Amino acid sequence: MASATSRQFLLIDGDDTLWENNIYFEQAIEAFIDFVGHSTMTREQVRAALDEVERMNVHVHGYGSAAFTKNLQQTYERLAERDVQPQDIEHVMQLGQRIAGQPLTLIPEVAETINYLAGRHDLMLVTKGHPEEQRLKIERSGLESLFTATRSSMRKPSIPTGRSPRSGSSTPLAPG
> Which segments of the chain does DSSP mark as H helices, in order?
22-36, 43-61, 65-79, 86-97, 110-118, 131-141
CA–CA gap between residue 11 and residue 126 (Å, rounded): 6
Q: Is 20 near Mg ion (CB under 5 A)? A: no
Contact range with Mg ion by CB under 5 A, out of 24-32, 62-70, 142-150, 162-170: 162-170
Q: Nearest Cα to 167, choosing from 123, 130, 124?
A: 130
Q: Is 15 near Mg ion (CB under 5 A)? A: yes
Contact range with Mg ion by CB under 5 A, out of 86-94, 137-145, 153-161, 168-176: 168-176
CA–CA gap between residue 18 and residue 7 (Å, rounded): 21
Of 57 and 169, the one with the shorter C-beta distance to Mg ion is: 169
CB atoms within 10 A of CB 150: 18
Q: Indicate the Cα dihedral angle 36, 134, 101, 107, nearest 10°.
A: 90
Position with the least CB separation from Mg ion: 168
Q: Is 165 near Mg ion (CB under 5 A)? A: no
> What single-letter DSSP state applies at residue 83?
P
Minimum distance from CB of 57 to Mg ion (Å)?
20
Contact range with Mg ion by CB under 5 A, out of 2-10, 77-85, 95-103, 165-173: 165-173
Minimum distance from CB of 103 to Mg ion (Å)?
18
Q: Which of 16, 20, 88, 133 binds Mg ion (CB under 5 A)?
A: 16
Contact range with Mg ion by CB under 5 A, out of 56-64, 136-144, 149-157, 161-169: 161-169
